[in-house]
Amino acid sequence: MFSLFYGFWKYMFSKTEFHVLILGIDKAGKTTLLEKLKSQYSNVEGLPPDRIVPTVGLNIGRIEVSNSKLVFWDLGGQYLLLEPWVFRMFTTVLGNGRMFSSTVEANCLCFSMFVLCDGLDQNFFFFQPGLRSIWEKYYEEAHAVVYVIDAACTSRFEDSKSALEKVLRHEDLQGAPLLILANKQDLPDAVSAEELARYLDLKKLDERVYMFEAVSGYDGMGIKESLEWLIEVMERSKRTEMLRARAGAAPASA
Ligand SMILES: Nc1nc2c(ncn2[C@@H]2O[C@H](COP(=O)(O)OP(=O)(O)OP(=O)(O)O)[C@@H](O)[C@H]2O)c(=O)[nH]1
Ligand SMILES: [Mg+2]
C-alpha cells in the first residue's frame, strides 16, 4: 500500500529530468549561454563572460524551470588536431622520426599554429576537428539538442552548417528536438534567425521538430522563449517516451 502511495506521490510531484546537449563549433558562445542560463534559472551565479575559457571536454549546468529539471551538457567545439597524414609527414620527412617523439609534441605545434592562425579562416586542410569527435558519445542519452551559431561571423557559417548536418545524420539522435540559436544578437553584424535559417537551408530538418531563435549570451535576449519552447517540445516528444521506457519505465526522477 505504501509503495502504491509513494509511486502516486512521486508521479504527481517529482520533476521530470531532461538532458540537453549544447553543441556548435568553437567560439559560437555555448558556454557563455550556459553561464547566463545558470545565473537566470538557478541559485548558482554563472561565470561572467571575461572569465570563460574555451571548453576542453564538458561543462555541466543544472537548472529548474517550473516542473522540469534540465541538465545541460556543453561540449567543446575547439582544439583542432593535426590530420594524421600531416603528423606522419612531419615525423618522417622533416625529422626522420626525430622531430616529434610524441603526439603531445605534434599537438603542441598544432596548437601554436592554431593560435597564430586565429582570426584567419581556421579551416586549414591539415587540421581536423578534434573535440567535435566526442560529441557523439553523449547522443544516446540526450532528450534534445541546442545548436549554437555565432550569427555575427558569416565566414564560419559553412563550418557550422557541415558540423550540424553531421549531427543530424547521426542515428543516435533520431527524433531529438533541435533548437538552433542565432547567437550574439547584441553585435551589429549579427544576422537574424530567419536569415540564418535561409543561409543554412538544411534539407534534413523536415522530419524533425525544430526552431530557430535569435539570442544573446551577453544580454540574455531570447533565452526565456528558447527554454519555454524546449521544455514544451521535450515534454511531448516521442524521444522522451523512448528514453523513459529505456530507463525502466520510471515516469520521472525524484
Ligand atoms: N558579443 C557577444 N560575444 C559573445 C556572446 N557569447 C559569447 N561571446 C564571446 O564569444 C567568445 C566565445 O565564447 P564561448 O562561450 O567560450 O564559446 P564556446 O562556443 O563555448 O567555445 P568552445 O568552448 O571553444 O567550443 C568569447 O569571447 C565570448 O565572450 C554574445 O552573446 N555576444
Ligand atoms: Mg565552451
Domain spans, the chain: 14-79+135-246, 80-127
Q: What is the pTM of this model?
A: 0.80
Q: How many CB atoms lie within 10 A of CB 46?
A: 21
Q: Is the Cβ atom of 89 under 6 angstroms away from ligand 1?
A: no
Ligand 1 pocket mutation pick from 21, 51, 52 by most atoms within 8 angstroms of CB: 52
Supply the pLDDT for residue 35.
98
Supply the pLDDT for residue 119.
41
Report residue 54 as a C-alpha cell: 574555451
Supply the pLDDT for residue 121.
41
Ligand 1 pocket mutation pick from 26, 31, 32 by most atoms within 8 angstroms of CB: 32
DSSP 150-191: ETT-GGGHHHHHHHHHHHHH-GGGTT--EEEEEE-TTSTTPP
Please list, in sequence order, all residues whose beta carbon lies within 8 angstroms of the beta carbon of residue 178, skipping any fewer than 6 positions away: 144, 145, 147, 168, 205, 208, 209, 210, 211
Report residue 246 as a C-alpha cell: 529505456
Could you tell me which residues are beta bridge partners of residue 22? 74, 146
Ligand 1 atom closest to the CA of 131, numbered from 1 = 25
Nearest Cα residue to atom 12 of ligand 1: 27
Return per-residue pLDDT of the chain as tens, 254 residues.
Answer: 666 665 655 555 567 899 999 999 999 999 999 999 999 999 999 999 999 999 988 999 999 998 899 999 999 887 455 555 555 565 555 545 444 445 555 555 555 555 554 444 444 445 555 667 789 989 999 999 999 999 999 999 999 999 999 999 999 999 999 999 999 999 999 999 999 999 998 876 767 999 999 999 999 999 999 999 999 999 999 999 999 998 875 555 54
Nearest-angstrom CA–CA distance, 39 and 217 = 11
Give distance in angstroms: CA of 136 to centre of ligand 2.
17
Give the architecture (CATH level 2) of 14-79+135-246: 3-Layer(aba) Sandwich (3.40)
Please list, in sequence order, all residues whose beta carbon lies within 8 angstroms of the beta carbon of residue 12, skipping any fewer than 6 positions away: none
Instruction: Work out the angle at residue 151's Cα, subtended by the Cα atoms of residues 145 and 154, and round it to the nearest 5 degrees.
Output: 120
Give distance in angstroms: CA of 237 to centre of ligand 2.
28
Q: What are the DSSP E strand ranges found in the chain? A: 16-23, 58-65, 68-75, 80-82, 127-129, 144-150, 178-183, 210-214
Supply the pLDDT for residue 64.
94
Neighbours of ion ligand 2 (CB under 5 A): 30-31, 55
Between helix 30-41 and helix 223-235 the angle, nearest 10°, is 80
Supply the pLDDT for residue 237.
95
Give distance in angstroms: CA of 218 to centre of ligand 1.
9
Give distance in angstroms: CA of 25 to centre of ligand 1.
10
Among 161, 225, 224, which residue's Cα sits nearest to residue 198?
161
Give distance in angstroms: CA of 143 to centre of ligand 1.
24
